[in-house]
Chains A and B, each alone.
Chain A
Amino acid sequence: MQFVSYSFLLFLAVVFIIYYLVPGRFQWMVLLVASYVFYLFSGPKYLIYIMVTTFTTWLAARQIDKLKKQQADYLEENKKTLSREDKKSYKSAIKKKQRFMMLAALLFNLGILAVVKYTNFAISNINAVINLAGGQPIEFVSLILPLGISFYTFRALSYLIDVYRNTISAEKNVFKFALFVSFFPQLIQGPISRYSQLESGLFTSHHLNLKRVSFGLQRILWGYMKKMVIADRIVVGLTTMTADTAAYRGAYVLVEVFFYAIQLYADFSGGLDMAIGAGQIFGVTLPENFERPFFSKSIKEYWNRWHMTMGSWFTDYIFYPISVCKPMLNLSKWSRTHLGPVLGRRLTVYLSSFAVWLATGIWHGASWNFVFWGLSNYVVIMISQELEPLYRRFHQKFNVDGSLLYKVFQIVRTFLLMGFLRIYDCFDGVITTWRMVGSLLTTGNWNILWDGSLMQIGLSMTDYIILAAGILLMFIVSMSQRSGSVREKIHAKPYTVRFVIWTALFLAVLLTGAYGIGYDASNFIYNQF
């Protein structure tokens, strides 16, 4: 079921009514049933996958938790008789069992993800090698890719690892855990929430709070505006250009960079607005996923503000564990004594960052495009990290720190850099992408920017006016957001003003949204990840 569909709105209304009619202690069950119904509409075959993941992670976490309890009991009972060494060896024996449980469930579920998502990617690479050797290529397999599998697998695994790390205790009720994994607003494109963030929201009873519900609806409406007015409209022009790499090169690539950056942000953050808004309607606070990323002054900052829940997942569950594992610490010690303090201190960080960005790239999609995209981010971040002392000296010398103009320069620079990195998504190969970016310098067709050529890519003057208005609105809201919640600010205004604002936004979406017959781009870009 798509968020942008009549059926979703109807579904939401029905779930809403039932949710607030049943007694509080049954509310979470309503959400669980609703979530599975929601997923069922997306494809009945997917259900088995999410159920397997739910059950295996739940079971492993339960076992880990039981071992934890067993250890506590044992230590308590034998407090007096055990020596420090005894305790230590008992603990490490338990830890070993727990680690086995954790790893088994982790690898099993990552295995499922890898098989359904990456088998054909692997086969295509093997075939490339076979081709060189002149052998018979392997046939591709047809596997179904359950919707949102990357998102719910990551959610389940974060829970598993958190239980193993003892930061949360395991959920005894498998159905409650199933709700955490499948909660429908975040099922398909995130956010990748943590169990500790959702637990209280999901499992306590909620009274109907009109302010909260209307805030939720407002957030959903705002999401629809981003998605339907901006993303689904601009995508028409974008696909026209990217579909024909022979005709649209040179300056068009620059246009594509802008279009894609805007489309991706409006599409993805709009979808998240809908998800978070839907959560809010049910009294469940989902974590934020974006914090005005296009206002970032560096790539590193950008990645702290874009798809934040994914970024923090990779930091917590890949970057830190790799960085602080024994071999890495030893390596760090060795490098600091042998490679000098600067490089020595950074070697391990660079290695674990490499792993993170490789994983980020692969997570986004099974193709070399994404791998290169991830690693390009890595290279850019590392270079800017290395250049930082240089920057600092430059800032001091020219006294530009804090000047508005310099800030704007940094923001524009980051936007362009990110835009160009992202363009990997738009073309069907790494080489094509490089060639297209290269054509920017060699084609010299800058006149297309003003000679009316941009009217020939499936967007009319009306479309451009709507887009400009939508983007401007998005910009104004972002600016206003810096000093606090925009919805709160509007809420503080007299009723008539509020009414006019929200009705106007509603009508704007209704009339200028790109939906219905003739528009079929309403699949969220991030669904497939």
Chain B
Amino acid sequence: MKHIRILRRRILRFTVSAIVICLLLFLLQRLLMPKYSVGTQDGAMIAEYYNDAPKHNLVIIGDSEMYENISPLVLWENYGINCYIRGSAQQLIWQSYYLLEDTLRYETPEAVIINITSMQYGEPQRESYNRMTLEGMRWSTSKVKAIFASMTEEESFWDYVFPLLRYHSRWNDLTEDDFRLMFSEEKVSLNGYMMQVGVKPAENVPEGRPLADYTFSDVSYQYLDKITKLCKEHDVELILMKSPSLYPYWYEEWDAQLKTYAAEHEIRYLNCVNNDEIGLNFQTDTFDGGLHLNVAGAEIYSNFLGRWLQNEIEISDLRDDGELVQAWNSKAADYEEKKSEKYRELSEQ
């Protein structure tokens, strides 16, 4: 009897200790992880996707050329397209693929737009960008595969599983926000759109320097193939898109390769660089000299895109869905509020 009592006490003791340690580690991890919504907001949108009802008929996947340049509100208000942008800074093509896999787990949109700027990168670029794309993803086989595909040499898988290991020394830079936002981050985007209001005209846009080799890497093609295949399997209309940003320079050789690819695989490729139909004015519609569009530019471009989608793929108009209408009404209010607030800030500067 005594023996059993001691054993039971020990097991209890061990269990309690283990729980206490796990709890401590969990709290520390929440505390020490960077809070993207008050810091580098470009890392916040991937996670925000999961809070929006999975009823999108268009999902856009790509880097800042997507989430700075397209306003989902315009697409909704003028065309009835319920769109979400799964964007993250310098998103690589395999990350786009795994985000697509991840998205298809929750919903099957009518169409998916993939930003193909990232075709130029055949290998992981920077750890901080990887973090911004991958950390927001919910755990799934897609996330695991995305991590392994993205890691630079210095990175370790375990640092993603236990981000505490990665951010362990951040205790030195903690702010009030880290405590406040331990369990819930602030919302920073509108359906994945990051609004910018400043104006910095595009001047002296540099021409692209000649490259030694214009062929996209095998890895890039491999993932593009996977994207194409996955969309076919799920009967999703795939659109490869290059947004109208003036630079980084988009080479004609790259354009040609994608044209060929699209023709071969019977998918659409929409290159918006220097497209006069859009009606953009790079003296007023960009906030960083032609890299990305400001809200005025994004709205113009979104109108073009909405029209194009209606004409080309006859995307459905969802404005008869009561729930969505309601949701968008409140989003529209947020959007306008944010916009006027940002303009006010700008004028105060």
Q: Which residues from chain A sit less than 8 Å from chain B, CB to CB?
A: 6, 462, 495, 499, 503, 506-507, 510-513, 515-517, 520
B168 touching A517 by the CB < 8 A rule?
A: no
* CB of B256 closer than 8 Å to a CB of A: no
With both beta carbons as reference points, the residue of chain B lying nearest to A5 in the complex is identified as: B156
B165 touching A516 by the CB < 8 A rule?
A: yes
B28 touching A517 by the CB < 8 A rule?
A: no
The interface residues of chain B lying within 8 Å CB-to-CB of A511 are 28, 168-169, 171
Measured CA separation A527–B169 after assembly (Å): 27
Q: How far is the CB of A248 from chain B (nearest CB, A)?
A: 26
- Known interface pairs A516-B165, A517-B166; A6-B172 also in contact (CB < 8 Å): no
B164 touching A517 by the CB < 8 A rule?
A: no
Measured CA separation A447–B35 after assembly (Å): 42
The 9 A-B pairs of least Cβ separation, nearest first, read A6-B158, A511-B168, A462-B172, A517-B154, A499-B17, A511-B171, A510-B168, A6-B156, A516-B166
User: Which interface residue of A462, A510, A515 has the most chain B CB atoms within 10 A?
Assistant: A510
The interface residues of chain B lying within 8 Å CB-to-CB of A503 are 20-21, 24
* CB of B253 closer than 8 Å to a CB of A: no
The digit string for B144-171, where 1 denotes a CB below 8 A from any CB of A, is 0000000000111011000011101101
Q: List 5 A-B contacts (CB under 8 A).
A: A6-B156, A506-B21, A507-B28, A511-B28, A520-B154
The interface residues of chain B lying within 8 Å CB-to-CB of A520 are 154
* CB of B234 closer than 8 Å to a CB of A: no
Q: How far is the CB of B106 from chain A (nearest CB, A)?
A: 31
A513 touching B24 by the CB < 8 A rule?
A: no
* CB of B13 closer than 8 Å to a CB of A: yes
The interface residues of chain A lying within 8 Å CB-to-CB of B168 are 510-511, 513, 515-516
* CB of B337 closer than 8 Å to a CB of A: no
Given A499-B17, A499-B20, A506-B21, 13 extra CB contacts under 8 A: A6-B156, A495-B13, A503-B20, A507-B24, A510-B168, A511-B28, A515-B165, A515-B168, A516-B159, A516-B166, A517-B154, A517-B159, A520-B154
With both beta carbons as reference points, the residue of chain A lying nearest to B17 in the complex is identified as: A499
The interface residues of chain B lying within 8 Å CB-to-CB of A516 are 159, 165-166, 168-169
The interface residues of chain A lying within 8 Å CB-to-CB of B155 are 517
The interface residues of chain A lying within 8 Å CB-to-CB of B159 are 516-517
Q: How large is the interface on B (under 10, 10 to 19, 20 to 34, 35 or more residues)?
A: 10 to 19
Selected contact of B127 from candidates A495, A506, A512, A517, CB within 8 Å: A517
With both beta carbons as reference points, the residue of chain A lying nearest to B166 in the complex is identified as: A516
Measured CA separation A6–B28 after assembly (Å): 19
The interface residues of chain A lying within 8 Å CB-to-CB of B20 are 499, 503
B164 touching A510 by the CB < 8 A rule?
A: yes
With both beta carbons as reference points, the residue of chain A lying nearest to B161 in the complex is identified as: A6
The interface residues of chain A lying within 8 Å CB-to-CB of B158 are 6
Within 8 A of A (CB), among B209-253: none
The interface residues of chain B lying within 8 Å CB-to-CB of A495 are 13
Measured CA separation A515–B165 after assembly (Å): 9
Q: How far is the CB of A7 from chain B (nearest CB, A)?
A: 9
Measured CA separation A513–B164 after assembly (Å): 12
The interface residues of chain B lying within 8 Å CB-to-CB of A513 are 168
Q: How far is the CB of A173 from chain B (nearest CB, A)?
A: 38
The interface residues of chain B lying within 8 Å CB-to-CB of A510 are 164-165, 168
The interface residues of chain A lying within 8 Å CB-to-CB of B13 are 495
With both beta carbons as reference points, the residue of chain A lying nearest to B154 in the complex is identified as: A517
The interface residues of chain B lying within 8 Å CB-to-CB of A462 are 172
Q: How far is the CB of A318 from chain B (nearest CB, A)?
A: 43
Q: How far is the CB of B12 from chain A (nearest CB, A)?
A: 11
Measured CA separation A516–B168 after assembly (Å): 9
Measured CA separation A503–B16 after assembly (Å): 13
The interface residues of chain B lying within 8 Å CB-to-CB of A499 are 17, 20
Q: How far is the CB of B191 from chain A (nearest CB, A)?
A: 33
Within 8 A of A (CB), among B11-70: 13, 17, 20-21, 24, 28
Measured CA separation A515–B154 after assembly (Å): 12
User: Which interface residue of B21, B28, B127, B169 has the most chain A CB atoms within 10 A?
Assistant: B169
Measured CA separation A236–B156 after assembly (Å): 22
With both beta carbons as reference points, the residue of chain A lying nearest to B165 in the complex is identified as: A516
Measured CA separation A462–B17 after assembly (Å): 31
User: Which interface residue of B21, B166, B168 has the most chain A CB atoms within 10 A?
Assistant: B168
With both beta carbons as reference points, the residue of chain A lying nearest to B10 in the complex is identified as: A210
Measured CA separation A517–B166 after assembly (Å): 7
With both beta carbons as reference points, the residue of chain A lying nearest to B168 in the complex is identified as: A511
Q: How far is the CB of B44 from chain A (nearest CB, A)?
A: 21
